[in-house]
Amino acid sequence: MEILIRAAKVIDPSSPHHNLIKDILIQDGVIKKIENQISFDGTVIEHENLMVSPGWFDMRAHFTDPGKEHKEDLESGSAAAAAGGFTDVLLLPNTDPVTSNKNSISYYLKWNKGADVNLHPAAAITLGCQGKELTEMIDLHTAGAAAFTDGIEPIWHTDILLKSLQYLQTFDGVLINRPEDRMLTAFGTMHEGQVSTILGMKGMPELAEEVMIDRDLELLKYAGGKIHFSLISSAGAVERIRRAKAEGLNVTADVGIHHLIFTDENLMDYDTSFKVNPPFRSEKDRLALIEGLKDGTIDVIVSDHQPHDQESKQLEFDLADFGIIGLQTFYPALLGALGNKTENCIERVTAAPRRILGIDQASISEGGASLTIFSPSVKWSYNGRTNKSKSVASPFFNQEMIGKVVGIVNNGRFISND
């Protein structure tokens, strides 16, 4: 395979070509040459305002395989990831059975042989993700677990979190927690605020997220180690993490792409496409999340891809499942949220996730073999014909999108999205 990426702006601060417009020759899945202009008679990738960066890494996605392959499986999830520009995906352990032993880790690692997208399994911290008994984390790390988390379930048991921080230090493992005090969000369906009052729905207060972050930070001070907060959603959470970083604590955080766009006001029509956990909060919170991205408080942007079949979403709002898909529409959503600041935040889906997880960095340099090609100018329709996921649970479904991933290069192949 030999292709030429014509006149693409390089977005890679670690590359000497950063912010320069270059021709890039790809041969057998590896960058062979980067020059101002390359003569070439073969396949040429050429678009208005074309850009190229190291391959994107999604640090939070759920493929529901094994167990609920009718919602998503490894093939459909990987196809959606590739179409969304991701060469690598960290998978949540909330499968059936839960990813909590060597065999469940090897299930994903075997899939990776010959795959277009690299799947990195996160292992459960507790058996069944129930928060009561620790898994064999050292054995799981040896088997290839990329991180440790109970995924969509918060680590509610204080002693479990404390012991996890201590155990993971033996091999510099990454603990990921989604902060939520379930006693404060019980029976809640959306953000607690003026809109929930108007709609007559039980709210989920910001306090539930913030008291959990306070608890985890105190345990981190006591036990040492490092912790990654996933899906922070409130202004108070951003401020707490900002202070913790200033104090020198080893803490990182991510935000879901949709929380940069939507607020609780999008729920006025009771559309279950907007039912997520943590919930979309106020405009004040949304702006605080964007500011947290700009000043480096928030390290990573994730898709929080959670596929559901229509039977799980086409219900009364309070009965519908939490979660929406986000892989394939990630880039146009990012453009919608950040506009001309988007280029500055590409690092949040390239270098930052790899750095946190201790995975080798990708780069736009000769010999590089993982890259994402995209354009903010290309328009496309997201519908049943273009959707790669088995799920249609997206607030963008059947809409015209601006900004498209043209393709990825990974594992020796070019995967086109044209």
**Dihedral (Cα; 236, 238, 240, 242), 10-degree rounding:** -150
Residues that are catalytic: 304
Encoding tokens for residue 64?
């529901």
The residue among 61, 53, 112 whose CA lies nearest residue 409 is 53
In the predicted model, what is the mean pLDDT of residues 181-205? 97
pTM confidence score: 0.97
Q: What is the pLDDT of residue 399?
A: 97
Report the CATH superfamily, name and number, of domain 55-357.
Answer: Metal-dependent hydrolases (3.20.20.140)
User: What are the tens digits of pLDDT across the range 20-67?
Assistant: 999 999 999 999 999 999 999 999 999 999 999 999 999 999 999 999
Task: Reduce the DSSP state of residue 30 to 3 states and report it.
Answer: strand
User: What are the tens digits of pLDDT across the range 143-159?
Assistant: 999 999 999 999 999 99
Q: What is the CATH number of domain 2-51+366-381+399-416?
A: 2.30.40.10
Half-sphere exposure of 90 (CA within 13 A, CB side): 30
Q: What is the pLDDT of residue 21?
A: 98
Please count the other Cβ atoms lying within 10 Å of the Cβ belonging to residue 145.
Answer: 28
- Give a three-class secondary structure readout of 157-185: CHHHHHHHHHHHCCCCCCEEECCCCHHHH
Please count the other Cβ atoms lying within 10 Å of the Cβ belonging to residue 233.
Answer: 27
Residue 250 has pLDDT above 80, yes or no: yes
Where are the domains positioned within the chain?
A: 2-51+366-381+399-416, 55-357
Which residues have a Cβ under 8 Å from the Cβ of 332 and sit 6 or more positions away? 396, 401, 402, 403, 404
CB 402 within 8 A of CB 342: no
The residue among 338, 261, 341, 253 whose CA lies nearest residue 301 is 253
Residue 1 has pLDDT above 90, yes or no: no
Band the pLDDT of 418: cuts 50, 70, 90: confident
How high is the mean pLDDT of the chain?
Answer: 97
Band the pLDDT of 68: cuts 50, 70, 90: very high
